[in-house]
Structure 1
Amino acid sequence: MSKKRWLALLAVTVLFILSTTINLRAPATSSNWDELFSADDRKWVERTLREGDRKEKIVVLDVNGVIQDQDDTSFLFSSVGYRHRTFLSMLEYAAKDPDVEGIIIRVNSPGGGVVESAEIYDKIRSIQEEYFKKIYVSMGSMAASGGYYIAAPADKIFANTSTITGSLGVIMQSYNVSELAEQIGIQEQTIKSGEYKDIMSPTREMTEDERAILQSIIDDAYVEFVDVIVEGRGLPEEEVRNIADGRIYSGSQAVQLDLVDDIKSYEETVDALIEDLGLGNLQVIRYETSVGFNDLLQLSAQRLSMNQGDLLGLQQLVRQTNSPTLMYLYTK
């Protein structure tokens, strides 16, 4: 083993020992350290955006990026990203906090997974029904497909005139590389237990039966999307089906279609919620993801133990599956 590898192994060992020690002594950590590094299971901190005259507050939560349930630790390798489980726990925490009077969800997303979008929708509805807290949505530059799905149950939805929204519908995509494989001499060998086990295989044409099976699944998810808009916006089903053909809308067009309540900036949305609550000058806070000291140690260990190829994401790419996935997603 080279000297460089021995040094890397030694560094990983030291970091592992430090991480274990900190975990064992976490309860004794001072409050100052808690402010700098999250020591509990809550992977976020509260940051005050506006001071108020009383302890009651409204909370701002952000949905940035594609709505997918990925390993929350993966955010350490990128500066920005959506963390599904963390976002759901933020919603739950805000719901149970007696000082939180209202929630603003700032959506800047092209959508994402059908299941993940439904989980956010269900969480929002439960907060409204169980805790009777108002939830407003402020759309950023994009709140399309699943980004609109999670906005639909909100008490009010506001957008910018140039917000890209809509793209109401479901998509499932795959590639057919059979001709390319034939040209370069690649042949797939498949052993399967049933006729449809390799449905949407990228190395052959899709059959009509297979297309019908997948279309039925798409149709079921589409019906659910339509129902969410009908319930959330109080629109007739026929009208929703007419506008939910996959096209995108500007914020101004969405207001005309009653998909959005009004044109307001983020700051104006905050003001509107405070005014509608009628409780005076409430403080405004944002839940922001934090990096625990233990997370930093684990990240350093991972970086030292992986080769350069893995740091470029090749290991993650190999682990990904090509299985078809239902998406509420706006694709360009």
Structure 2
Amino acid sequence: MPSRLLLALAALLLMLPGCAPKIKIFASQATEPLKEFVVDGEGQGKVALIHLRGFLSSQPKMGMLRARPSQVQELVNALKLAEADDEVGAVVIGIDSPGGTTTASDILYHEILGFKQRSGKKVVAAMFDVAASGGYYAALPADWIMAHPTTITGSVGVIFMRPKLSGLMDKVGVDVEVSKSGRDKDMGSPFRPTTPEEEALFQGIIDDFAARFHTLVAKHRPLSPAQLETVKTARVFTAGQARQIGLIDQVGYVQDAFAKARAMAGLAKDARVVTYRRDTYPNDNPYNTLDSADPAKLNMLGVDAGFIMPPKAGFYYVWPQGLTN
């Protein structure tokens, strides 16, 4: 059923007496507890599969009908369940993300590293389509990093994106007056060109954030100075190239990640792989990345047009070309 018709029907039913409580699509499933589902294996012991996907942010995802938890919140929720379960010997984090904000990426790194240190449980990162910039940043604490044969990864660097409106305002004859307390109070303003002095200040911030990223790569990956210099160009790599330069440990499929996690944790070869979701899905499997039905994606046009909006001004560990995927 087309989403426009589904939305209209749901709205009509909501207006009928006694119908609203029965319409699950309008329920706030983000407030329902995460439940465990087995997606692979039948033996003793568990490997927890946790997905990390999309643009990484600590802000909730806002939709027309409701908000959904951010990637940071959901990953922390899932890690807590895995940490509290004595049967879980290892975690596989499935990453499909071009990165995100510098802070969200760093929080994810911190939480995964803290999980390892507190629990002593092994972590395997399994990369899918894209695990670039902040997506790769989040993978760094893993004991083993595996990429799908067609993964794009790398982009180890920082980008400062901000929309500029000064050219458009000149064309339509609109201006903005600013009163400020210091010379640099409005640095980065979208209403005027950036000055050379401001560019130098921004570059200093970018260099600081990049240095942190580079330091963590050097800490977790056994790269030679020459390899690290190549990585610092912030280019992207195929899975094979990333394996050759030392950014990842293995090229394979998600089943290989499960096998590695089971072996590292000393679990049986058929140990169960479990994941945490808010909804039940028939014929579930490891490739299901949904945690709940997502009415926030619905809108009156039946499309999600968020990817065409200009970026929010800020510093990002992100591969911009991956944002439209």
- TM-score (ref. length: structure 2): 0.78
Decide whether the 8 Å contact of 1:168 with 1:247 is kept in 2. Answer: yes
1:52 pairs with 2:53: no
1:98 pairs with 2:86: yes
Aligned to 1:221: 209
Aligned to 1:164: 152
Q: Please, what is the CA RMSD of the aligned residues?
A: 3.8
1:212 pairs with 2:197: no
Distance of aligned partners of 1:322 and 1:270 in 2 relative to their CA distance in 1, 3 Å threshold: closer
Query: 2: CA distance between counterparts of 1:170 and 1:215?
Result: 10
Give the counterpart letter for 2:72 in structure 1: H
Query: 2: CA distance between counterparts of 1:178 and 1:228?
Result: 38
Query: 2: CA distance between counterparts of 1:112 and 1:241?
Result: 23
Distance of aligned partners of 1:209 and 1:70 in 2 relative to their CA distance in 1, 3 Å threshold: same
Aligned to 1:30: none
Query: 2: CA distance between counterparts of 1:81 and 1:164?
Result: 26
Instruction: Note the residue ranges of structure 1 that are not aligned, 5 or more in a row.
Output: 1-6, 20-36
Query: 1: CA distance between counterparts of 2:136 and 2:272?
Result: 27
Decide whether the 8 Å contact of 2:61 with 2:69 is kept in 1. Answer: no
Query: 2: CA distance between counterparts of 1:227 and 1:75?
Result: 41
Q: Where does 1:60-75 land on structure 2 (aligned, <5 Å)?
A: 60-71=49-60, 74=63
Distance of aligned partners of 1:197 and 1:308 in 2 relative to their CA distance in 1, 3 Å threshold: farther
Aligned to 1:129: 117
Query: 1: CA distance between counterparts of 2:317 and 2:58?
Result: 14
Decide whether the 8 Å contact of 2:90 with 2:123 is kept in 1. Answer: yes
Aligned to 1:279: 267
Distance of aligned partners of 1:135 and 1:63 in 2 relative to their CA distance in 1, 3 Å threshold: same
1:209 Cα deviation after fit? 1.7
Q: Where does 1:29-48 land on structure 2 (aligned, <5 Å)?
A: 43-48=33-38
Deviation digits for residues 219-267 of structure 1 (CA, Å, limit 9, x no counterpart) = 1111110111111113356642432212110000000001010111011
Q: Percent identity?
A: 26
1:194 Cα deviation after fit? 2.0
Single out whichever of 250-259 and 63-72 deviates more from structure 2.
Answer: 63-72
The correspondence for 1:266, drawn from 254, 275, 280, is 254
Deviation digits for residues 183-209 of structure 1 (CA, Å, limit 9, x no counterpart) = 111111222222222211122111122
Higher percent of residues as helix: 1
The correspondence for 2:75, drawn from 65, 87, 94, is 87
Query: 2: CA distance between counterparts of 1:157 and 1:76?
Result: 37
Decide whether the 8 Å contact of 1:153 with 1:233 is kept in 2. Answer: no
1:197 pairs with 2:185: yes
Decide whether the 8 Å contact of 1:141 with 1:162 is kept in 2. Answer: yes
Larger radius of gyration: 1
Instruction: Note the residue ranges of structure 2 that are not aligned, 5 or more in a row.
Output: 1-10, 281-291
Decide whether the 8 Å contact of 1:38 with 1:290 is kept in 2. Answer: no
1:179 Cα deviation after fit? 2.3
- TM-score (ref. length: structure 1): 0.76
Single out whichever of 101-110 and 322-331 deviates more from structure 2.
Answer: 322-331
1:64 Cα deviation after fit? 1.4
